[in-house]
Amino acid sequence: MSATLQLSRPFRIVDWAFPFKIVLDGRTVGKINNRASTEIQVEAGTHTLKLDYYVGLTSPTVTFDVSDNDTVQFVCHARPAVTGLPWLIGSLLFQHDAWIVLERA
């Protein structure tokens, strides 16, 4: 029994240079570049998803359920450039999981 995780990352100038590592259920399963999409086959059930950026910046860990033959979709990106610097400083110093936005599509 399998399902599909779709992840997309729209273009953002703030974080264009480095890919995000895709961490599914605690294991790195791939990377996603700026302005890219990817699909990952997963078992039906409950999973955790997190994205890692360089220097220890991450997304919050998201828990999701997916049924057999279903597709779950997420969109990810760094904080917007206008508010990027305060978020970057706060993420580096205090809350490392605040830099990447990870949302259900």
pLDDT at 11 exceeding the cut of 80: yes
Mean pLDDT score across all residues of the chain: 87
pLDDT confidence bin for 16, thresholds 50/70/90: confident
Enter the tokens of residue 41: 């086959």
Cα distance between residue 90 and residue 84, in whole Å: 10
- pLDDT tens readout for residues 92-102: 666 677 778 99
Cα-Cα-Cα-Cα dihedral sign, residues 22, 81, 64, 39: negative
List all residues 6 or more positions away from 78 whose beta carbon is below 8 Å from its beta carbon. 12, 14, 15, 53, 84, 99, 100, 101
Q: What is the rounded average pLDDT of the residues 19-37?
A: 96
According to CATH, what is the number of the domain 2-104?
Answer: 2.60.40.10
Contact 20, 50 (CB under 8 A): no
Q: What is the rounded average pLDDT of the residues 29-50?
A: 97
Q: Which pLDDT value is given to residue 98?
A: 73
